[in-house]
Amino acid sequence: MEKYKIVAATGCPTGIAHTYMAQEALEQAANAKGVSIKVETHGQVGIENELSEKEIAEAEAIIIASDKDVQAERFAGKRVIDVSVGKGIKEADKLIEDALSGKGKIYKGENSESKVEPIQDDHDDRTSLGHNIYKHLMNGVSHMLPFVVAGGVLVAISFAVWGVFSFDPEHAQYNPMAAMLKDIGGTAMGLMVPILAAFIAESIAKRSGLVAGFVGGVVANNGGTGFLGGILAGFLAGYVILLLQKVFQKLPKSLDGLKAIFLYPVFGVAIVGISMSLLSGPMNAINQGMMDFLASFENSNPLLLGIIVGCMSAFDMGGPVNKAAYVTGTALLAQGNATFMAGVSAACIAPPLITGFATLFFGKYFSRNDRNAGLVNFILGSTHITEGAIPFAAKDPLRVLPTMMLGSSIAAVMTYLFKVKVPAPHGGFLVLPVVEGKIQWVLAILIGSIIGGIILGFIQKNQFQKDNAK
């Protein structure tokens, strides 16, 4: 087996482009200096080119270029340079030089007894609380997205091909295949919150956090707390497990197996499950209050109603505020009001399209990974999968979320002004055949999305210019 002077691990939230671009950049930079390197990638297909314990032990330095968890605990006691995946692409030459010159710091992994003091370097920004929270959140989002995409598209197909009531055995449109597809798609979508919570917790507390995070996510989902409940459950589970590790660290080494298979799961699931059960009630009460508030505007001014629906739909994209708007629309739809649902659908479709237009019009200011995600979001948005915009919002929520709320509000307001009727609770543009006011609805969504996309593009351009002026 070849002995590598440097080993590295790369990963990005979606695991599509940046992961492999960073790998290629590091390999080329190392080869240019005549240095042997092995780069492990954490992409959407899983871990490739995996580092062995021997290769890690023999390496003189380790480079982590990632925005997600890459199991860094393996590197305890080794000299590590830890940067974002973007720096792995743009600054590969510098990273190799830093690794060869002894920069980095000794990584103290979980339960590490290493007393070596950190080596001072210019990569300490990676230890910031904000970046760690972002990394944990993105680890959850990257694992969640395939469930959202698969489930949402299958549900949309069932509506588009067989009709919006084809899943209902009591309706004339009923079709067993359509009902089965909707059930499968709904199951996949229902796993979104538990998977999100599980992998946020796994990023924080490794495998020990997975069980508590998943169960906490299921409890949050069953309690109706949605996307925000999943985030809360994931972070709660991760840090509860870290606390339990400290509590049980004085137990004999011989009981390590018992801790992993019994103590952490039992205590973790109990604490997180009970906490989320207690929190679900208040969160649900708030959610019901928002639904009642929203329903009271059913016959109000289209401008006011559109702004309220648009802001709520884009505020948390799958969380309780978004769900309040969606569930209210579904409930009113069951009462025969297809106009209200039209605005909700438009507002939910807009956020992913906003990111798509932003990356289309201002592509040079976005990373290649973001451009790829933006193109994918044209498909996700068109099928009413709002969650595709989450990675963009998570990076800069204070500026991105208001932009999406504006674009969604414009789409909803125009939909209500045009008196569009959408008799389907899901499906996006796939349900156009049953929409009353097809052209007006598409026009309203496109106008709101393009305006939001232009604003988001200028925000990204301004940030890009600031970053490159430093």
- DSSP-assigned letter for residue 174: -
pLDDT tens for 215-225 read 999 998 888 77
C-alpha distances (whole Å) from 229 to each of 101, 124, 318, 379 are: 45, 31, 10, 26
C-alpha distances (whole Å) from 440 to each of 183, 236, 306, 338 are: 31, 45, 15, 15
How much of the chain exceeds pLDDT 70, in percent?
88
C-alpha distances (whole Å) from 351 to each of 75, 84, 402 are: 39, 26, 11
C-alpha distances (whole Å) from 247 to each of 240, 258, 422 are: 10, 14, 55
Cα–Cα distance for residue pair 373/249, rounded to 1 Å? 42
Q: Residue 388's pLDDT band (boundaries 50, 70, 90)?
A: confident
> The pTM is what?
0.63
pLDDT tens for 298-311 read 667 878 888 988 99
Cα–chain center distance at 341: 25
Coil, strand or helix: which one is 383? coil
Average pLDDT over residues 321-332: 73
- Dihedral (C-alpha) 306, 311, 317, 323: value to the nearest 10 degrees? -60
Domains of the chain: 6-127 (3.40.50.2300), 297-470 (no CATH)
Catalytic residue from among 7, 12, 201, 291: 12
CB 452 within 8 A of CB 405: no
pLDDT at residue 125 in the model: 45
pLDDT at residue 331 in the model: 63
pLDDT at residue 119 in the model: 38
Decide if pLDDT at 154 tops 70: yes
Average pLDDT over residues 184-208: 89
Name 299's Cβ contacts closer than 8 Å, sequence gap at least 6. none
Residue 66, strand partner residues: 11
pLDDT tens for 427-440 read 788 778 778 899 99
Cα–chain center distance at 93: 30
pLDDT tens for 89-135 read 888 999 999 999 888 888 775 444 333 333 344 444 444 666 678 77
Burial, 259: exposed, middle or buried (Cβ in 10 Å; 0-12, 13-18, 19+)? middle
Task: Mean pLDDT check: name the lowest of 58-62, 392-396, 425-429, 437-441.
Answer: 425-429
For 85-107, the DSSP string reads HHHHHHTHHHHHHHHHTT-SEE-
348 is catalytic: no
